[in-house]
Amino acid sequence: MAKKSRTETAVELVDIVDARDRPLLVMPLSEAHRQGLFHRSVMVLVFDAAGRLYLQKRGPQKSLYPGRFDLSATGHVQAGEAREAAAARELFEELGLSAPSLVLIDAAPASRDTAYEFVTLFSAGRTAETPRPNPDEVAGGMFVDEAELTALVRDYRDWLTPGVVHFYEKKVLFPENR
């Protein structure tokens, strides 16, 4: 039997939260986006042995920022799910990677710029494994060093998601270089 993509399976449910990130109710993700309601998402950084950051290329079917480069793994926190568990799930679903541990790096408050998502950023650290992008989720990717990402942000900002730009400008994407 062929594996079903997430879009072919059950409706993805998320916790709708208030402006202080307190849960209010559960709703389909599509409705949360349609109505601009606060909910939660995670992003995960993955580095190769040389310390280069993996950027995924979002699939053309994505409703937000199709075809743009995003952080290594990204996704929504499902209803009742812990953020760290969501980060581990997304890392495996999108890139086929498992991290021995995830480190909390930063967070961004929900706003129009984040699609009304409270975003939590984790690092999976360095890996010797090669990411295996799931074609149902990701259209590919590449490793970049800090200088290459600086050039992308400076010259090709519209190729990147707002999340990449936000956390780049906060200087949290390459913590080992600080």
pLDDT in tens, 136-166: 989 999 999 999 999 999 999 999 999 999 9
What pLDDT is recorded for position 173? 97
Amino acid identity, residue 177? N
Strands 138-144 and 39-47: unpaired
pLDDT tens for each residue of 66-100: 999 999 999 999 999 999 999 999 999 999 999 98
What pLDDT is recorded for position 177? 54
Written out in words, the top-level CATH class of the domain with range 38-75+82-177 is alpha beta
Locus of tokens 């209803």: 79
What pLDDT is recorded for position 113? 85
Which range has the worst mean pLDDT, 5-9, 28-32, 116-120? 5-9
Burial of 8 (0-12, 13-18, 19+ CB in 10 A): exposed
Q: Tokens representing 172?
A: 């949290």
What pLDDT is recorded for position 4? 45
What pLDDT is recorded for position 63? 83
Amino acid identity, residue 63? S
pTM exceeding the 0.95 threshold for the entire prediction: no
Which residues have CB under 8 Å from 163's CB, separation 6+?
Answer: 43, 70, 71, 74, 108, 114, 119
* Average pLDDT, integer, range 27-53: 96
Judged against a pLDDT cut of 80, whether residue 22 lies above it is answered with yes
Percent of the chain with pLDDT over 70: 93
What pLDDT is recorded for position 176? 67
What pLDDT is recorded for position 175? 78
- Which has more confidence, 8 or 174? 174
